[in-house]
């Protein structure tokens, strides 16, 4: 059983610059990481004998919508800002938990895939790719999972997403 501070310090020793900060919140603290090194950090968390984070409880993508948004003719466009991914980890042996967060720029949302570290991340990453357009590098099979394969109107859970007028000749808006 380790606290968030201990885990953060252990990570900081091994990956000094790739671990940015421990963000404290009233309930869940999280560790901000480098999105392109998240696979190595994950592997360390999984295989370190004092940590053994063997369970990825959840992996969720978030559109932070912290860029500059402009509304023109009812269409919102957001420029700049970040898309984030949260990793909720648990060790079934030591019973400690940790939350990791990575933030990628909205224009080029790329993060390393952890699907080879935890197999449960496979479909979660596909979902984050499907709905938010976060590209997971080295993912074994990065296809859309919920939306149709030929959906070309963008990523629906982004805050500036606009529904297309038609899909295969079917009117989409109400």
Residues that bind another protein (CB under 8 A): 39-40, 43-44, 46-49, 52, 54, 93, 116-117, 119, 138, 146-148, 156, 161, 163, 167-168, 170-174
Alpha helices in 1-134 (DSSP H): 4-14, 38-47, 121-132
> What minimum distance in Å lies between the beta carbon of 45 and another protein?
11
Nearer to another protein, 27 or 95 (CB): 95
Q: What is the SS3 assignment for 30?
A: strand
b (16+ CB within 10 A) / e for 74-91: eeeebeebbbbbbbbbbb
Q: Return d(Cα 96, Cα 91) in angstroms, integer.
A: 6
> What minimum distance in Å lies between the beta carbon of 85 and another protein?
17
> What minimum distance in Å lies between the beta carbon of 114 and another protein?
9
- Which of 4, 16, 25 has its CA nearest to residue 89? 4
> What minimum distance in Å lies between the beta carbon of 8 and another protein?
19
Nearer to another protein, 23 or 146 (CB): 146
> What minimum distance in Å lies between the beta carbon of 164 and another protein?
9
Nearer to another protein, 81 or 156 (CB): 156
Phi, psi angles (nearest 5°) of residue 150: -100, 25
Tell me the β-bridge partners of 99: 30, 88
Nearer to another protein, 29 or 144 (CB): 144
- Which of 79, 127, 142, 131 has its CA nearest to residue 105? 79
Nearer to another protein, 20 or 147 (CB): 147
- DSSP character at residue 16: T
Nearer to another protein, 22 or 157 (CB): 157
> What minimum distance in Å lies between the beta carbon of 80 and another protein?
24
């Amino acid at each position: 059983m380790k606290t968030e501070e201990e885990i953060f310090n252990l990570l900081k020793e091994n990956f000094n610059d790739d671990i940015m900060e421990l963000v404290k919140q009233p309930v869940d603290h999280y560790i901000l990481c480098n999105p392109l090194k998240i696979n190595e950090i994950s592997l360390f968390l999984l295989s370190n004998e004092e940590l053994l984070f063997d369970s990825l409880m959840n992996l969720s993508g978030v559109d932070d919508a912290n860029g500059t948004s402009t509304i023109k003719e009812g269409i919102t466009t957001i420029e700049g800002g970040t898309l984030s991914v949260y990793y909720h980890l648990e060790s079934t042996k030591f019973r400690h938990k940790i939350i990791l967060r990575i933030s990628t720029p909205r224009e080029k949302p790329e993060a390393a895939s952890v699907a080879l570290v935890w197999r449960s991340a496979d479909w979660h990453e596909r979902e984050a790719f499907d709905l938010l357009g976060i590209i997971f590098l080295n993912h074994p099979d990065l296809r859309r999972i919920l939306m149709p394969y030929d959906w070309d109107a963008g990523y629906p859970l982004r805050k500036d997403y606009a529904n297309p007028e038609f899909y295969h000749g079917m009117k989409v808006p109400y």
